[in-house]
Amino acid sequence: MTAPTQDSVLEAQIAHVLADLNQLSASLAAVLSLQTGMGRAVLDRFELLIDGLRAKLTSMAGNGGADWTGLAKVRRSAAQISREALAFVQSVLLRERKLDNGTGVIGERLLDELSERTSEDRRVLLAVSDNEFFSHTVSMVRGRYPDVSVWNLPVLAHELGHHVAATLRHSDPALREDYRPIAIYLSEEADNEASFAHVDRGVALAHVHELFADVYAIYVLGGAYPLNMIALSARPDRFDAATETHPSWSRRVHTMQAAADVLGGFGDVVAAGYRDLAETISGIWRVIAGDGDITGRERAVTAQQAEGMVRVLAKHAFSRARYDMPERVNTIVIDPMQPLVGPAEGVTLADVLNAVWRWRIENWGSAGWLIEDASRRALELCRQMIR
């Protein structure tokens, strides 16, 4: 038996990683025929990354010398791409088998509409995970599975906010290619947050990114997002507890309220709806968390941050990015006790999400079957709109 050398072991491991990447490409290509949305563009994004890793591996194999450090870096990158690809393949297969209740297609269309209204050139992908988050690897938003109801669809707007923060271009054509104004603003704001909250700058940067994503979700989706977060995600029993990645629920809720207050001061026909939303957020949170959850200084800092975030969005996003709190939301029949009526002219997916969440807050404590039926009705309206 010939004993393997270090070089031959390295070559064997390189070949194994290459085989994994080839299988990844084959799996992605196989589901393309089932993908109803971006199709070829999805494969292009993944293949660009996979080809880059293939080139690095081929170079290692031909250079001689055992570059174990280089191989370890490629393996980490390959694992990251594999996770994203697996999530995407899973989501496509769930859609094809109709196990996602149509939320995949609806969520993808919602993300497309919000991106287009915001002035985003690059569409995001939608996949599934056990919780919602955004990955910059291939610009992929993860929706939560096995939740296949309408209720958490507003969270997709928050995850899209992370993409917008990193990629939205400057409104001045002369600066569009070189400046990402929101990313710059948040980086500067992280210094203020670190000083105010007495945390490491990396933690502060993560916190202001989360707060911006909350503000963005209100900006483009109105009341559906904060109502969703307070009702289904917030921890009023630990309102002041922050983590390294997320600010406290107290900061988040008060930032959303402050953003609605700022939007309510714009002085146009949309403003009244945001003033009402600010009062609604404040009233609900006061009942479940009490009045003592935030200090006066925190309120001032929160209000200042929220105003800055709203202003930078208003300056660099399209004017129609701001959700217009339309009266047509009132025409959408969600009540399970009334006949289902198809969507009226001009109704959007954002309108349906606002209508269904307005119904739920107004009918808090309803029986489970009523809540499930309201979700089914809302999803059916969404399906009718995107056929």
- pLDDT given for residue 139 in this prediction: 79
Burial readout 20-56 (b: 16 or more C-beta within 10 A, e: otherwise): bbeebbeebeebeeebebbeeebbebbeebbeebbeb
DSSP three-state, residue 178: coil
Cα gap 302→158, rounded to integer Å: 18
CB-based contact 150:379 (threshold 8 Å):
yes
Residue 287: count other Cβ atoms within 10 Å of its Cβ.
9
- Which H or E run contains 138? none
Cα gap 162→177, rounded to integer Å: 19
Q: Is beta strand 125-129 parallel, antiparallel or unpaired with respect to 140-144?
A: parallel
CA distances 213 to 63, 149, 206, Å, are: 45, 22, 11
Cα gap 226→233, rounded to integer Å: 10
| Dihedral angle computed from the Cα positions of residues 62, 64, 70 and 72, in that order, rounded to the nearest 10 degrees | 100
- pLDDT given for residue 38 in this prediction: 61
Phi/psi of residue 56, each to 5°? -65, -40
Cα gap 110→220, rounded to integer Å: 11
Burial readout 211-240 (b: 16 or more C-beta within 10 A, e: otherwise): bbbbbbbbbbbbbbbbbbbbeeebebeebe
DSSP three-state, residue 133: strand
Q: Find residue 141's DSSP bridge partners.
A: 126, 134
Q: 349-362 vs 368-386: helix axis angle to the nearest 10?
A: 170
- pLDDT given for residue 177 in this prediction: 77
- Take residue 278 and report the two structure tokens written for it: 């600010």
Cα gap 142→95, rounded to integer Å: 14
pTM above 0.85, yes or no: yes
Q: List the pLDDT tens digit at each of the 387 positions of the chain.
A: 666 778 888 889 999 999 999 999 999 888 877 655 566 777 888 999 999 999 999 988 767 667 889 999 999 999 999 998 988 888 888 888 889 999 999 999 999 999 999 987 777 888 877 777 777 778 788 888 888 999 999 999 999 999 999 999 888 887 777 788 999 999 999 998 998 888 999 999 999 999 999 999 999 999 999 999 999 999 888 888 899 999 999 999 999 999 999 999 988 888 999 999 999 999 999 888 876 567 778 889 999 999 999 999 999 999 999 999 999 999 999 998 899 888 888 999 999 999 999 999 999 989 999 999 999 999 999 999 987
